[in-house]
A and B are shown apart, each in its own frame.
Chain A
Amino acid sequence: MIKQNYTIAENKLVASDTYRLVLAGKGTTDGEFVHLEIPGFYLRRPLSVCDAKDGKMMLLYKTVGEGTRALTQLPAGTEISVLEGLGKGFDADACKGKALLVAGGLGAAPLYLLAKKLKAQGKKVTVVLGFNKKEEIVLEQEFKALCDSFALATLDGSAGTKGFVTDALKALQPEYDYFYTCGPMVMMKAVCSLLEGPGEASLEERMGCGAGFCYGCSIQTAGGPRRVCKDGPVFKKEEILW
């Protein structure tokens, strides 16, 4: 874990209530998520790293409360304090050759960085993204350009398959030896119970420190209490007590 200032290079609305935040600095770009200080708010906000290259990191966030709404007001050029190198992310090595990535909403963000890693390892990657409506879609072109197979579902049917990601999965019947999922808890629970074989899911919890020492985000797992921020946020399917 290190703390340093980044400069906001871009902070732009890219989908319904969804912003792309690009931070420039000389960070390690290591770790699953970063913890951002938002002026006027006491606690930091954890955001998954969506992409990282050439000293820049790209994050996607949704305006869900006062903190993220305040974040939208920070213009390019603003310095922002970042804690980085946080969290245990997806295990790309767990996949032997054919990966299935299933995202709900902004769960697509951390899966994009994972997809890049899997492709760099020469693996076959199938991606299924689900959103409520077409106005919320993010990363569609990026995933299409990167992956071997791509499917989309929207709840209202405004794009792709009408329904949940599980409906798209049933229609697609993808081949895979390992799956990865990120999104709302109910969606990940449905995905983990539908999909056979080994896989992992990225959980979310209200965090304090984000670095494993306040124990504010500890959840019960099959293996005992685990800190979402430090022992996770990614956990093996069989560890999670839904």
Chain B
Amino acid sequence: MVKDLSVNLCGLQLQNPVIPASGTFGFGLELAGSMDLNVLGAISLKGTTREARYGNPVPRIAEAPHGMLNSVGLQNPGIDVLVNEKVPALRKIYRQGVIANISGFSVEEYRECCAKADACEGIDLLEVNVSCPNVHGGGLAFGTSAKAAAEVTAAVKAVCKKPVFIKLSPNVTDIVEIARACEDAGADGLTLVNTFLGMRIDIVRRQPILANKMGGFSGAAIFPIALRMVYQVAHACKIPIMGCGGVASARDVIEMMMAGATAVQVGAENLRNPFACPEIIAELPAVMEQLHIDALKNIIGTV
């Protein structure tokens, strides 16, 4: 029997739920020559801010058992280049979902960037990043307070017609409280989770490995924690969730969906294996067959 992998994200129909997570797939264009991007469910583009940013000094990558840390710090060419160059170039070769990931340092910056992304024809959905652990005075500052997260959500919703997802940080005491605040402020959906703030030290040089000292920890090691958070939020909120954190296989995708995710983002795994997303998508029908699943949409939040 033909397996139905499709899911619907606030009216955006995806052929499958697999989405490369923001920051782990560039602007899609970087990988266009190496694979058929059109097998993906959607792409979440690299986090974008109002002004172009270089990000943090190198080294900004460190390894950990079953995971990695990054302190890239939102390197991006700025919102105008995103909407005028990157997205139009991607749209010439790619017809599946496009998610713009927007970050900022003030409510006004979020509002301004999201309005521009909302007006960009090639973008289907907005993901508002209030959870980047790598920039000071921005990103995460909005994601660790229910009040600030709600304020950003309301400001962005006021200027956007497209679905707005808020990408949440796991670096909080109670993610459910923040998720509820975003839902109450009008968010159409939630993405969780971003990376965990972590650190590694080079014990020979007696210095942090990352030039920025700390960075976001991601990879297979965080999967059970991310899954738990998706499960908790799915049981507390009604809006759809993009589950993210340590997903590395078709089985992980199904597990995330059973926990409550409507779509599933693959992040750090792309850095180990650039072909992770197409491989997971190709693997899904056989795993569904083994588990007697005919349509992925039927398993969302069933546990």
Contact = CB atoms under 8 A, between A and B. Distances in A.
Interface of A: 1-3, 37, 41-44, 67, 83, 205-209, 211-220, 225, 230
Interface string B217-244: 0011000000000000000000000000
A44 B34 contact: no
Contact of B75 (A211, A212, A218): A218
B59 A42 contact: no
What secondary structure prevails in chain A residues at the interface with B? loop
Contacts of B34: 1-2, 211
Nearest to B46: A215
Contacts of B33: 1
Contacts of A207: 61
Given A43-B68, A207-B61, A220-B54, A215 B274 contact: no
A83 B54 contact: no
B127 to A, nearest CB: 18
Contact of A218 (B55, B67, B268): B55
Contacts, number: 91
15 contacts: A42-B65, A43-B61, A83-B274, A206-B62, A208-B68, A213-B26, A213-B31, A213-B270, A213-B274, A214-B26, A214-B61, A214-B270, A216-B72, A218-B75, A225-B54
Of A42, A67, A205, A230, chain B has the most CB atoms within 10 Å of the CB of A42
Contacts of B30: 211-213, 230
A44 B72 contact: no
B271 interface: yes
Contacts of A83: 274
Nearest to B221: A42
What secondary structure prevails in chain B residues at the interface with A? loop
Interface of B: 23-26, 30-31, 33-34, 46, 54-55, 58-68, 70, 72, 75, 209, 219-220, 268, 270-275
Of A83, A207, A213, chain B has the most CB atoms within 10 Å of the CB of A213
B59 A205 contact: yes
A41 B62 CA distance: 12
Nearest to B75: A215
B232 to A, nearest CB: 27
Closest 9 CB pairs of A and B: A213-B26, A213-B30, A216-B61, A206-B59, A209-B271, A208-B61, A208-B271, A1-B34, A206-B61
Contacts of B46: 215
B99 to A, nearest CB: 16
Contacts of B60: 206, 216-218
A169 B194 CA distance: 51
A31 to B, nearest CB: 12
B54 A42 contact: no
Given A1-B33, A42-B272, A213-B30, 20 more contacts: A3-B274, A41-B63, A42-B65, A42-B66, A43-B63, A43-B271, A43-B272, A44-B272, A206-B58, A208-B70, A209-B271, A209-B274, A213-B25, A214-B23, A214-B70, A215-B23, A215-B46, A217-B58, A217-B60, A219-B58
A218 B54 contact: yes
Given A206-B61, A211-B30, A214-B24, A37 B55 contact: no
B64 A42 contact: yes
B62 A209 contact: no
A225 B75 contact: yes
B58 A42 contact: no
A211 B30 CA distance: 8
A230 B34 CA distance: 14
Contacts of B219: 42
A6 B268 CA distance: 24
Nearest to B274: A211
Nearest to B54: A225
A142 to B, nearest CB: 32
B66 A214 contact: no
Contacts of A209: 24, 270-271, 274
Nearest to A225: B54
B219 to A, nearest CB: 6
A42 B72 contact: no
A83 B54 CA distance: 27
A230 B60 CA distance: 16
A2 B65 CA distance: 26
A41 B67 CA distance: 9
B274 A1 contact: yes
